[in-house]
Amino acid sequence: MTNREALLRLSRDKHDSIAMTSLCENNAEIIRMAITRYFETGTVSENAQPVVMQRVADHARSYEPEEDSDKWLAERVNAECDRLRNEAI
């Protein structure tokens, strides 16, 4: 499943586990890099990933099909990491 397809599925159902798994697998490196940039490695970053990805899913309804899905996802992951870090402080 492409990022675009996964985001469209999540825009209809933010709890679509197949779409979420696809996003995580397709973008593992981008997600890992963003989480590492905002959080410590180890337990903190392991705990942050599911929260960040659920927040991305929560915002999937704001994704427009004509947008670049890869860019949208990278921007959203970074934004949610930043928000989560600020909430923790």
Q: Given its phi and psi angles, is residue 85 left (phi above 0), alpha (psi -120 to 50 degrees) or beta?
A: alpha
| DSSP type of residue 60 | G
pLDDT value, residue 89: 59
**Which tens digits make up the pLDDT trace of 9-55?**
999 999 999 999 999 999 999 999 999 999 877 777 788 999 999 99
CB 15 within 8 A of CB 24: no
The CATH code belonging to domain 3-88 is 1.10.1740
> What is the C-alpha end-to-end distance of the chain, expressed in Å?
36
Q: What is the mean pLDDT of residues 53-76?
A: 96
Q: What is the mean pLDDT of residues 77-88?
A: 91
pLDDT value, residue 41: 72
pLDDT value, residue 42: 74
Locate the domains of the chain by residue range: 3-88
pLDDT value, residue 13: 96
